[in-house]
C-alpha cells in the first residue's frame, strides 16, 4: 500500500506526530508500505485563490504552481491518506487547511477508494474538525477512520505529555495494523 502522511502541526515530533508515529508503527507491522511524509509547515503551499480554474479547465489542474504539486502527485498513487493535526481554534491548523482547500482540484476526479486516517490531538474539543470529515466521507465515498487524543488535564489545567495517553496511542497503533492488513 502507498500512504501519504500530512503533518499539520508546526511542532515537529510532538503530539500529533507521535500519534501518527504509533499509527505508522502498526501499519509497518503488516508488511512493507511506501510512506511519504509531508511536513506542511516546512512547505510552501499558498491558500486557494478561489479562481475555480480547477473546475473549468479540462485537466482540472490547480492554477497555482507551488509545493502543493508534490502532494497532488503523491496523492494520486496513494490509497491511504493520513491527516495528523492538532486542533487550532476548533479546527485543523492553517497549514493543513490550506492543503485541504487546494484539494478542491482533486475533488473533480473524486476520492473514491481512498482511505482517510484522521489523527487529531486537542485540549478541549475536536468535534468541529471531526464533523467536517464525517460529513464529506459518504459524499466522496471515503473510507474514514479517526483517532482523537486529548492532551490536557482539565482538572489540573495542565497539558499532559502524549506519552501518557496510552489508550489513544494503542488505538492509533491498532488502527494502523487494521488498515495495513486491509481489514478496513
Ligand X SMILES: Cc1cc2nc3c(=O)[nH]c(=O)nc-3n(C[C@H](O)[C@H](O)[C@H](O)COP(=O)(O)O)c2cc1C
* 121 is a contact residue toward ligand X (CB under 6 A): yes
Candidates 23-31, 73-81, 97-105, 118-126: pick the segment binding ligand X (CB under 6 A): 118-126
Does 16 bind ligand X (CB under 6 A)? Our answer is yes
No. of helices (H) and no. of strands (E), the chain: 7, 7
Contacts of 8-14 with C-beta under 8 Å, sequence gap 24+, read 8/40, 8/83, 8/84, 8/85, 8/86, 8/92, 8/93, 8/95, 8/96, 9/41, 9/84, 9/85, 9/86, 9/93, 9/121, 10/41, 10/93, 10/95, 11/86, 12/39, 12/41, 14/162
Q: How far apart, in whole angstroms, are the C-alpha atoms of residue 169 and residue 146?
A: 12
Among 35, 72, 79, 88, binds ligand X (CB under 6 A): 88
Binding segment (CB under 6 A) for ligand X, from list 9-17, 50-58, 65-73, 109-117: 9-17
Does residue 130 interact with ligand X by CB under 6 A? no
Residue 124 in contact with ligand X, rule: CB under 6 A: yes
Rule CB under 6 A: say whether 83 interacts with ligand X.
no
Among 95, 100, 148, 151, binds ligand X (CB under 6 A): 151
Quick check: 21 binds ligand X (CB under 6 A)? Answer: no
The site for ligand X (CB under 6 A) is made up of 9, 11, 14-17, 86-90, 121-125, 151
Amino acid at each position: 500500500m502507498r500512504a501519504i502522511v500530512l503533518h499539520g502541526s508546526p511542532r515537529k515530533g510532538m503530539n500529533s506526530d507521535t500519534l501518527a508515529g504509533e499509527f505508522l508503527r502498526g501499519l509497518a507491522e503488516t508488511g512493507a508500505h511506501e510512506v511519504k511524509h509531508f511536513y506542511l509547515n516546512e512547505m510552501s503551499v499558498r491558500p486557494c485563490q478561489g479562481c475555480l480554474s480547477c473546475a473549468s479547465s479540462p485537466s482540472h489542474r490547480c492554477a497555482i504552481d507551488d509545493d502543493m504539486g508534490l502532494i497532488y502527485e503523491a496523492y494520486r498513487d496513494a490509497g491511504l491518506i493520513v491527516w495528523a493535526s492538532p486542533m487550532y481554534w476548533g479546527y485543523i491548523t492553517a497549514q493543513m487547511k490550506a492543503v485541504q482547500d487546494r484539494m478542491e482540484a482533486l475533488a473533480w476526479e473524486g476520492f473514491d477508494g481512498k482511505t482517510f486516517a484522521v489523527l487529531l490531538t486537542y485540549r478541549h474539543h475536536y468535534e468541529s474538525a471531526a464533523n467536517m470529515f464525517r460529513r464529506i466521507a459518504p459524499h466522496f465515498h471515503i473510507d474514514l477512520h479517526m483517532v482523537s487524543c486529548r492532551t490536557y488535564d482539565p482538572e489540573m489545567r495542565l497539558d499532559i505529555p502524549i506519552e501518557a495517553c496510552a489508550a489513544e496511542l494503542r488505538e492509533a497503533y491498532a488502527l494502523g495494523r487494521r488498515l495495513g492488513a486491509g481489514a478496513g
